[in-house]
Structure 1
């Protein structure tokens, strides 16, 4: 879905009520803004967490050595703790 929003002279924009409701922002909330070479992406905090988890799965799939626990254990071993 593509919608047009207008930006006021002081830099504010309003998202349509139905979109805010679908995103769970009806009572207010936060969006994270990501600038990419192709433009700007707005994500809710929950969407950003899901996106980060998907990226982590992509780069750590079938790599048990890529877990946080293994990383920390290796760091402890290397530092002599």
Structure 2
């Protein structure tokens, strides 16, 4: 879905009520703004946390993801 949202002279914009309702922002809340080469992405804090957890889960599933494994590899690389 693509909607046009106008920005006022002082930089304010309003998200349509139906979007705020679906995102759980009916009573207000925080939105994270990410600037990319392609434009701007708006995410709720919950969406950003879920994305970060999904990324972390991919790395945590790796058998060498522990701090001890990392330190052992560093020691081996440095010849200790």
Q: TM class by shorter-chain length?
A: 0.7 to 0.9
1:39 aligns with 2:54: no
TM-score normalised to the size of structure 2? 0.78
Shift of 1:61: 5.9
Q: Distance in 1 between matches of 2:41 and 2:13?
A: 14
Give CA deviations for 1:17-36 in whole Å, capped at 9, x if unaligned. 01000000000000000111
Task: Show the counterpart of 1:30.
Answer: 30
User: How many pairs are equivalent?
Assistant: 71
Task: Show the counterpart of 2:64.
Answer: 65
TM-score normalised to the size of structure 1? 0.77
Corresponding residue SS for 1:64: coil
Unaligned runs of 5+ in 2: 76-80
Shift of 1:56: 2.0
Corresponding residue SS for 2:3: coil
Please, what is the CA RMSD of the aligned residues? 1.9
Give CA deviations for 1:1-31 in whole Å, capped at 9, x if unaligned. 1111000000000000010000000000000
Unaligned runs of 5+ in 1: none
Greater Rg over alpha carbons, structure: 2
